[in-house]
Copies of this chain bind each other. A is one copy, B any other.
Amino acid sequence: MAAEPPRPRAKRRDPDAARTIRDVAKRAGVSTATVSRVVNGNYPVAAATRASVERAMRELGYVVNAHARALAGSTTRVVGIVVNEIVDPFFAYIARGVQSEAVASGRLCLVCSTQGDQSAELRFVDLLLEQRADAVILVGGAVEDKEYFAAVSQRARQLKAAGSSLVLCGRPGLSSDQSAYAVEYDNAGGAAAITDHLLNAGHTRILYLGGPTALSTTTARLRGFEQALQARKIPFDPALVRTGAFGRQWSYEQTLRALDDGLDFTAVFAANDIVAAGVYAALRDRGLSVPDDVSVVGYDDVPVATELQPALTTVRVPLEELGRAAVRAGLSGQDKNADPFAHQQPVVTLGTVVVVRDSVAPPRS
């Protein structure tokens, strides 16, 4: 037998309890429509009415319900971002750009970190789709897999159909599909430029170290590396390419192994600055000095590059701007107040520049 309704609809006693727009309307003696209008300020309301509604809101501690608003309105005021690892400065700086641009557009930022689990990436995109995020930004390299591309492409279309959009950030765009935006940086160009810097110093045997083997980031950097060698007619020796991961520990061990194998090289192109840190540590442990014995360059230009001694010569990637640009691209379809002449290009590419510091010198003798 059902007990009598336990709550006899007691008058609100808790002064902090959540209020609805109806509570405010009642207290101000107006309709909910009017309250909504003063909250949003998108429709004329008489000054006196406005004042009394505002007072009622203040007195009740009214807070709009973002979900009700998202349901009834059309935008959720949330952008989503999916990264591999939020503590990795590469992603952290991009996330910072995303977050700040999102806030600048009056939005909040839902951050998902996959911790390297590739399948989690798409699951997060699906979750962000459930959230009806105004834009979802997929950050970082991707393994270039046919099936995976198809899955991403499908998400892009779903998002688009829902009035949102998918932005690929720091990874190649979907060549076959116009549904996703892409905001890239000149990955191969930067790699070629810094390789050239090494070449200029006289190095010809350069060890390329690090980066997950099938990742687009790795393939692009390697492409630049090879191009630079080719341009100088320097033979490319596959034995001098050792890929696998981005970690410092991994890099430390691989450098040690390369050294102990007696591999012949006078410089190391570390796939990123973290990898370079591992290289430094290994060289130090073997009594080798940078740059006298071995020159080292990195990629990304994150803070560790300047902490390393000697300071690391590396490629600066406009990480934060990448994040901002991604948000702008993703939101380009939403804000109608956006400059109508500023047509969003499906793919924008930001430049990279090599930052010369102290880790490169001519090879010993």
* A96:B86 contact, CB within 8 angstroms: yes
A295–B70 Cα distance when bound, in Å, is: 56
Cβ of A174: which chain B residues have Cβ within 8 Å of it? none
Tell me which of A122-130, A198-206, A218-226, A338-346 binds B: A122-130
A131 at the interface (CB under 8 A from B): yes
The number of chain A residues touching the other chain, given as a range, is: 35 or more
* B304:A63 contact, CB within 8 angstroms: no
* B100:A96 contact, CB within 8 angstroms: no
* A71:B65 contact, CB within 8 angstroms: yes
A333 at the interface (CB under 8 A from B): no
Partner of A16, one of B14, B99, B161: B161
A126–B61 Cα distance when bound, in Å, is: 11
A52 at the interface (CB under 8 A from B): no
* A67:B63 contact, CB within 8 angstroms: no
* B108:A16 contact, CB within 8 angstroms: no
A158 at the interface (CB under 8 A from B): yes
> Measuring CB to CB, which residues of chain A are less than 8 angstroms from any residue of chain B?
14, 16-18, 61, 63-68, 70-71, 76, 78, 85-87, 89, 92-93, 95-96, 99-100, 103, 108-113, 115, 126-132, 154, 157-158, 160-162, 248, 277, 284, 303-304, 307-309
A16-B161, A64-B130 known, 18 other contacts, Cβ within 8 Å? A16-B158, A17-B162, A18-B162, A61-B158, A65-B132, A67-B70, A67-B71, A67-B131, A78-B110, A86-B96, A86-B99, A87-B92, A87-B93, A92-B92, A108-B110, A248-B303, A277-B307, A307-B307
